[in-house]
Amino acid sequence: MTRTTPTIGVTTSRRSGWRIFPLVALNVWLAGGRAVRWGTGRPADLDTIDGLIIGGGDDISAELYGGELRATARIDAARDALERRLAETAVDEGLPVLGICRGAQMLNVAMGGTLHQDAWSQYPQARHYKTILPRREIRTCPQTRLRQLLGGSAVRVNALHTQAVDRLGRGMKIAAEDTGGMVQAVEGTRDPFTVGVQWHPEHLFYQRRQRRLFSALVVAARARRDEAAGGDPQLARVDRRA
Protein backbone atom coordinates (compact mmCIF):
# COMPACT_ATOMS: atom_id res chain seq x y z
CA MET A 1 0.00 0.00 0.00
CA THR A 2 1.39 3.42 -0.97
CA ARG A 3 2.06 5.77 1.90
CA THR A 4 0.05 8.98 1.62
CA THR A 5 2.08 10.95 4.17
CA PRO A 6 5.82 11.41 3.55
CA THR A 7 7.94 9.76 6.23
CA ILE A 8 10.90 11.76 7.51
CA GLY A 9 13.70 10.08 9.45
CA VAL A 10 15.11 12.30 12.22
CA THR A 11 18.48 11.55 13.82
CA THR A 12 18.79 12.54 17.47
CA SER A 13 21.18 12.52 20.39
CA ARG A 14 20.99 9.78 23.02
CA ARG A 15 21.40 12.48 25.65
CA SER A 16 18.87 15.10 24.55
CA GLY A 17 16.83 13.48 21.80
CA TRP A 18 13.90 12.78 24.13
CA ARG A 19 13.17 16.50 24.41
CA ILE A 20 14.22 17.66 20.93
CA PHE A 21 12.50 15.03 18.79
CA PRO A 22 8.92 16.04 19.77
CA LEU A 23 9.61 19.61 18.58
CA VAL A 24 11.03 18.42 15.27
CA ALA A 25 8.15 15.97 14.86
CA LEU A 26 5.67 18.80 15.46
CA ASN A 27 7.25 20.88 12.69
CA VAL A 28 7.23 17.92 10.31
CA TRP A 29 3.57 17.25 11.13
CA LEU A 30 2.66 20.90 10.54
CA ALA A 31 4.31 20.55 7.13
CA GLY A 32 2.26 17.46 6.29
CA GLY A 33 4.80 14.75 7.07
CA ARG A 34 5.37 12.06 9.68
CA ALA A 35 8.61 11.93 11.68
CA VAL A 36 10.32 8.78 12.94
CA ARG A 37 13.15 8.97 15.46
CA TRP A 38 16.53 7.50 14.60
CA GLY A 39 19.76 7.25 16.55
CA THR A 40 22.47 4.87 17.64
CA GLY A 41 20.91 1.61 18.75
CA ARG A 42 17.78 2.26 16.67
CA PRO A 43 17.01 0.94 13.16
CA ALA A 44 17.99 3.46 10.46
CA ASP A 45 17.09 2.29 6.96
CA LEU A 46 16.96 4.97 4.27
CA ASP A 47 14.72 2.73 2.14
CA THR A 48 11.91 3.21 4.68
CA ILE A 49 11.78 7.02 4.53
CA ASP A 50 11.15 9.77 1.98
CA GLY A 51 13.34 12.48 3.54
CA LEU A 52 15.96 12.90 6.25
CA ILE A 53 16.58 15.42 9.03
CA ILE A 54 20.00 15.30 10.68
CA GLY A 55 19.37 16.87 14.06
CA GLY A 56 21.38 18.91 16.54
CA GLY A 57 23.51 17.73 19.43
CA ASP A 58 27.12 17.34 20.52
CA ASP A 59 30.18 18.52 18.59
CA ILE A 60 31.40 16.50 15.63
CA SER A 61 34.76 14.83 16.18
CA ALA A 62 37.61 16.58 14.38
CA GLU A 63 38.95 13.14 13.45
CA LEU A 64 36.27 12.98 10.75
CA TYR A 65 37.89 15.82 8.80
CA GLY A 66 41.57 15.53 9.76
CA GLY A 67 41.60 18.04 12.62
CA GLU A 68 42.95 17.75 16.13
CA LEU A 69 40.43 16.79 18.78
CA ARG A 70 40.02 19.38 21.55
CA ALA A 71 40.11 18.04 25.09
CA THR A 72 36.98 20.05 25.97
CA ALA A 73 34.89 18.74 23.08
CA ARG A 74 31.90 16.54 23.94
CA ILE A 75 31.49 14.03 21.13
CA ASP A 76 29.49 10.92 20.30
CA ALA A 77 31.62 8.74 18.02
CA ALA A 78 28.83 6.24 17.33
CA ARG A 79 26.45 8.99 16.26
CA ASP A 80 29.17 10.60 14.13
CA ALA A 81 29.64 7.34 12.23
CA LEU A 82 25.90 6.76 11.79
CA GLU A 83 25.11 10.26 10.55
CA ARG A 84 28.09 10.46 8.24
CA ARG A 85 26.98 7.24 6.55
CA LEU A 86 23.37 8.42 6.33
CA ALA A 87 24.33 11.84 4.95
CA GLU A 88 26.68 10.43 2.32
CA THR A 89 24.16 7.84 1.16
CA ALA A 90 21.19 10.21 1.22
CA VAL A 91 22.95 12.81 -0.92
CA ASP A 92 24.29 10.18 -3.33
CA GLU A 93 20.82 8.64 -3.72
CA GLY A 94 18.98 11.94 -4.08
CA LEU A 95 17.07 11.76 -0.80
CA PRO A 96 15.94 15.22 0.42
CA VAL A 97 17.91 16.27 3.51
CA LEU A 98 17.61 19.05 6.09
CA GLY A 99 20.52 19.49 8.51
CA ILE A 100 19.90 21.33 11.78
CA CYS A 101 22.86 22.90 13.62
CA ARG A 102 25.16 19.89 14.09
CA GLY A 103 23.29 18.38 11.14
CA ALA A 104 24.36 21.24 8.86
CA GLN A 105 27.95 20.70 9.94
CA MET A 106 27.65 16.95 9.36
CA LEU A 107 26.33 17.51 5.84
CA ASN A 108 29.42 19.57 5.09
CA VAL A 109 31.81 17.07 6.71
CA ALA A 110 30.17 14.11 4.94
CA MET A 111 30.85 15.87 1.65
CA GLY A 112 34.54 16.27 2.53
CA GLY A 113 34.40 19.71 4.15
CA THR A 114 35.90 20.88 7.45
CA LEU A 115 34.78 22.80 10.53
CA HIS A 116 36.04 25.50 12.85
CA GLN A 117 36.01 23.75 16.22
CA ASP A 118 35.81 27.08 18.06
CA ALA A 119 33.78 29.33 15.79
CA TRP A 120 34.01 32.35 18.07
CA SER A 121 37.81 32.45 18.08
CA GLN A 122 37.75 32.46 14.27
CA TYR A 123 35.09 35.18 14.06
CA PRO A 124 35.81 37.60 16.91
CA GLN A 125 33.68 40.24 15.18
CA ALA A 126 30.61 37.99 15.30
CA ARG A 127 28.29 38.58 18.25
CA HIS A 128 28.34 35.59 20.59
CA TYR A 129 24.81 34.33 21.26
CA LYS A 130 23.76 31.13 22.99
CA THR A 131 19.98 31.17 23.18
CA ILE A 132 16.90 29.53 21.67
CA LEU A 133 15.48 33.03 21.16
CA PRO A 134 15.82 34.64 17.70
CA ARG A 135 18.51 37.23 18.43
CA ARG A 136 21.20 36.63 15.81
CA GLU A 137 20.78 38.46 12.52
CA ILE A 138 21.60 36.59 9.32
CA ARG A 139 21.14 37.20 5.61
CA THR A 140 20.57 34.61 2.93
CA CYS A 141 22.84 34.57 -0.12
CA PRO A 142 21.55 35.48 -3.59
CA GLN A 143 20.58 32.70 -5.99
CA THR A 144 20.11 30.09 -3.30
CA ARG A 145 17.21 27.85 -2.40
CA LEU A 146 17.30 29.34 1.09
CA ARG A 147 16.75 32.83 -0.31
CA GLN A 148 13.67 31.54 -2.13
CA LEU A 149 12.32 30.20 1.15
CA LEU A 150 13.28 32.92 3.63
CA GLY A 151 13.60 35.97 1.40
CA GLY A 152 16.43 38.48 1.05
CA SER A 153 15.74 40.66 4.08
CA ALA A 154 17.46 40.14 7.42
CA VAL A 155 16.30 37.09 9.38
CA ARG A 156 16.70 36.68 13.12
CA VAL A 157 17.54 33.19 14.32
CA ASN A 158 18.66 31.45 17.49
CA ALA A 159 22.16 30.14 18.23
CA LEU A 160 23.36 27.20 20.33
CA HIS A 161 26.50 26.06 18.51
CA THR A 162 30.25 26.20 19.13
CA GLN A 163 31.43 24.84 15.77
CA ALA A 164 30.91 26.32 12.29
CA VAL A 165 31.59 25.46 8.66
CA ASP A 166 35.13 26.18 7.49
CA ARG A 167 36.06 24.66 4.10
CA LEU A 168 33.05 23.70 2.01
CA GLY A 169 32.45 20.09 1.05
CA ARG A 170 32.04 18.99 -2.56
CA GLY A 171 28.79 20.09 -4.12
CA MET A 172 28.02 22.51 -1.27
CA LYS A 173 27.74 26.29 -1.23
CA ILE A 174 27.17 28.97 1.37
CA ALA A 175 23.49 29.88 1.69
CA ALA A 176 23.55 32.37 4.61
CA GLU A 177 25.98 34.29 6.82
CA ASP A 178 25.66 36.36 9.97
CA THR A 179 26.77 39.98 10.29
CA GLY A 180 30.24 38.84 11.36
CA GLY A 181 30.77 36.70 8.26
CA MET A 182 30.26 33.31 9.94
CA VAL A 183 28.57 30.71 7.76
CA GLN A 184 25.01 30.15 8.96
CA ALA A 185 23.67 27.85 6.26
CA VAL A 186 24.88 25.64 3.43
CA GLU A 187 23.06 23.88 0.64
CA GLY A 188 23.67 21.53 -2.24
CA THR A 189 24.38 22.97 -5.67
CA ARG A 190 21.94 20.60 -7.38
CA ASP A 191 18.56 19.00 -6.73
CA PRO A 192 17.04 17.52 -4.73
CA PHE A 193 16.57 19.51 -1.52
CA THR A 194 19.82 19.51 0.50
CA VAL A 195 19.95 22.33 3.04
CA GLY A 196 21.75 22.74 6.35
CA VAL A 197 21.06 25.59 8.77
CA GLN A 198 23.25 26.47 11.73
CA TRP A 199 20.29 27.48 13.89
CA HIS A 200 17.39 25.50 15.35
CA PRO A 201 14.21 26.21 13.33
CA GLU A 202 12.27 23.62 15.35
CA HIS A 203 12.28 26.07 18.28
CA LEU A 204 10.92 28.82 16.01
CA PHE A 205 7.77 27.03 14.83
CA TYR A 206 5.78 30.18 15.59
CA GLN A 207 7.58 31.95 12.72
CA ARG A 208 6.14 31.37 9.29
CA ARG A 209 9.47 31.71 7.53
CA GLN A 210 11.08 29.04 9.68
CA ARG A 211 8.25 26.59 9.03
CA ARG A 212 8.98 26.87 5.31
CA LEU A 213 12.17 24.87 5.83
CA PHE A 214 10.16 21.86 6.97
CA SER A 215 7.50 22.45 4.33
CA ALA A 216 10.11 22.48 1.57
CA LEU A 217 11.62 19.25 2.86
CA VAL A 218 8.24 17.50 2.98
CA VAL A 219 7.31 18.77 -0.50
CA ALA A 220 10.59 17.42 -1.89
CA ALA A 221 10.14 14.14 -0.02
CA ARG A 222 6.63 13.67 -1.40
CA ALA A 223 7.79 14.44 -4.95
CA ARG A 224 10.63 11.92 -4.72
CA ARG A 225 8.31 9.25 -3.35
CA ASP A 226 5.74 9.84 -6.07
CA GLU A 227 8.42 9.75 -8.75
CA ALA A 228 9.73 6.45 -7.41
CA ALA A 229 6.17 5.10 -7.53
CA GLY A 230 5.96 5.95 -11.22
CA GLY A 231 4.07 9.22 -10.99
CA ASP A 232 4.88 12.48 -12.72
CA PRO A 233 5.43 14.88 -9.82
CA GLN A 234 5.93 18.59 -10.11
CA LEU A 235 8.13 19.95 -7.34
CA ALA A 236 5.72 22.47 -5.93
CA ARG A 237 7.02 25.85 -4.90
CA VAL A 238 6.54 26.46 -1.20
CA ASP A 239 4.02 29.25 -0.85
CA ARG A 240 5.81 32.00 1.05
CA ARG A 241 2.45 33.03 2.48
CA ALA A 242 1.95 29.60 4.07
Q: Which of 101, 116, 177, 203 is catalytic?
A: 101
- Other C-beta atoms closer than 10 Å to the C-beta of 14 total 15
- Other C-beta atoms closer than 10 Å to the C-beta of 212 total 22
Is there a catalytic annotation at residue 202? yes
Euclidean distance between CA atoms 154 and 178, whole angstroms: 9
DSSP sequence for 92-113: HHT--EEEETHHHHHHHHHTT-
User: How far is CA 90 from its chain centroid?
Assistant: 13
Is there a catalytic annotation at residue 63? no
Euclidean distance between CA atoms 67 and 181, whole angstroms: 22
Is there a catalytic annotation at residue 101? yes
Residue 206, SS3 per DSSP: coil
Residue 188, SS3 per DSSP: strand
Euclidean distance between CA atoms 20 and 17, whole angstroms: 5
On the CB side of 36, CA atoms within 13 Å amount to 16
Q: Which of 116, 161, 200, 203 is catalytic?
A: 200
Active site amino acids = 101, 200, 202
